């Protein structure tokens, strides 16, 4: 394999790793095939481009219908435009979504930035309520746990977004970093309304994190009195 071939291969893997689906698609269009390669004494076990493409396509049935059944270059352009439109008018983003742009590209960014209104728009447009930085199944198998949109929303007190995520069947008890669940995030921040909301939806306050602490333990540690009253063992 020549240096140019390796650079092409590395570009595909890099694009996939950093979840840049539009860039991955561009490299896929070249038709390259990845195999075992030896670079400076290191063996790199790489999969075929077709496998990467298939795994990317599996992330969501609706996304697959929108993207792979339409001209690839058009979707790439739309996705580039929606990323550029992030700091602009939400109406421009809504228009691009109507034309087929991927709502997942901006969803976690909006959630993390506490941009609740935009996050709800993207969720209604088909963004994955599990989020995970728009990870593909390929990437999800390669990295550790990551906080879900529900955990971020619970931490930052985005009540309306949480209600929408619950309607969309977001995982209530899924652990993220440090083994923290959404109700733990809300408890440690003292967001008692969200704690009640999550409990009513079926969140389990008895789950323990990586250090063996429950949501009640986190509330007590942070001296969140209202949450302590709600979660205190009966």
Tens digit of pLDDT per residue, the chain (234 long)? 444 443 344 444 444 444 444 545 544 455 444 444 443 343 444 445 555 556 555 554 544 454 444 446 766 677 676 666 666 678 888 888 888 888 998 899 899 989 999 999 999 999 999 875 445 444 444 334 578 999 999 999 999 999 999 999 999 999 999 999 999 999 999 999 999 999 999 999 999 999 999 999 999 999 999 999 999 986
Contacts from 192-198 at CB under 8 Å and sequence distance 24+?
A: 192/224, 192/226, 192/227, 192/230, 193/159, 194/154, 194/157, 194/159, 194/162, 195/227, 195/230, 195/231, 196/230, 197/159, 197/162, 197/163, 197/166, 198/154, 198/162, 198/172
- Residue 135 domain-assigned? no
Same domain, residue pair 176 and 208: yes
- Residue 197 domain-assigned? yes
CA distance 176 to 160: 21
Same domain, residue pair 121 and 187: no
- Residue 68 domain-assigned? yes
Same domain, residue pair 35 and 110: no
- Residue 132 domain-assigned? no
How many independent structural domains does the chain possess? 3
- Residue 170 domain-assigned? yes
Same domain, residue pair 151 and 105: no
CA distance 78 to 21: 12
Residue range(s) defining the domain that contains residue 191: 144-231
63 near 100, Cβ under 8 Å? no
219 near 231, Cβ under 8 Å? yes
């Amino acid at each position: 394999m020549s240096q140019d071939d390796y650079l092409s291969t590395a570009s595909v893997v890099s694009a996939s790793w950093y979840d840049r689906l539009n860039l991955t698609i561009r490299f896929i269009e070249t038709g390259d095939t990845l195999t075992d390669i030896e670079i400076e004494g290191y063996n790199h076990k790489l999969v075929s481009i077709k496998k990467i493409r298939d795994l990317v396509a599996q992330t969501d049935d609706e996304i697959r219908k929108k993207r792979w059944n339409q001209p690839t270059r058009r979707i790439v352009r739309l996705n580039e435009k929606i990323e550029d439109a992030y700091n602009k008018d939400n109406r421009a983003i809504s228009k691009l979504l109507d034309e087929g742009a991927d709502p997942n590209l901006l969803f976690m960014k909006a959630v993390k930035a506490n941009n609740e209104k935009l996050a709800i728009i993207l969720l209604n447009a088909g963004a994955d309520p599990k989020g995970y930085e728009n990870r593909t199944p390929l990437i999800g198998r390669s990295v550790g746990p990551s906080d879900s949109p529900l955990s971020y929303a619970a931490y930052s007190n985005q009540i309306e977004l949480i209600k929408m995520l619950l309607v969309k069947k977001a995982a209530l008890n899924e652990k993220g970093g440090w083994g923290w669940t959404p109700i733990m995030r809300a408890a440690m921040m003292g967001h008692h309304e969200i704690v009640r909301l999550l409990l009513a939806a079926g969140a389990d306050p008895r789950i323990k994190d990586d250090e063996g602490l429950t949501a009640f333990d986190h509330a007590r540690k942070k001296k969140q009195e209202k949450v302590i009253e709600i979660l205190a063992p009966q």
